[in-house]
């Protein structure tokens, strides 16, 4: 099994910055895409940013120019640098990973426990 451990959430003023980290551990052969999702109260969970093991990046339009996703494949860690925070960025942020137990295994998914990000105006 795979476990995702998140850190770095907290509170910030509008215009401020926070950095989230997520480290994957466990018996995985490989990690494919590692993503950040968020869920605000009363809203559906949405993809914020994702990065493949090959380096391809996907960013939601709402965070382009403000958030940056990076990844350290050697450490199985993905980071989300959040600059220019807005009150509408307030949500629980979840780390998500696609992984395989062996080279021929099907793609499996894992979720972190979530970390709260609160942005005040």
- Section 20-47 average pLDDT: 95
Q: pLDDT averaged over the chain?
A: 96
Distance CA 99, CA 30 (A): 6
- Section 87-110 average pLDDT: 96
The pLDDT value given to residue 22: 98
Assign 88 a pLDDT band (cuts: 50, 70, 90): very high
The pLDDT value given to residue 27: 84
């Amino acid at each position: 099994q795979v476990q995702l451990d998140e850190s770095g959430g907290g509170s910030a003023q509008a215009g401020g910055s926070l950095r989230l980290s997520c480290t994957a551990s466990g018996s995985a052969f490989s990690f494919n895409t590692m993503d950040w999702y968020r869920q605000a109260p009363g809203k559906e969970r949405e993809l914020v940013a994702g990065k493949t093991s090959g380096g391809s990046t996907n960013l939601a339009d709402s965070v382009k120019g403000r958030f940056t996703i990076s990844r350290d494949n050697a450490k199985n860690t993905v980071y989300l640098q959040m600059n220019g925070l807005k009150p509408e960025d307030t949500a629980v942020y979840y780390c998500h990973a696609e992984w395989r137990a062996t080279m021929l295994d099907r793609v499996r998914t894992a979720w972190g426990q979530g970390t709260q990000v609160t942005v005040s105006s």
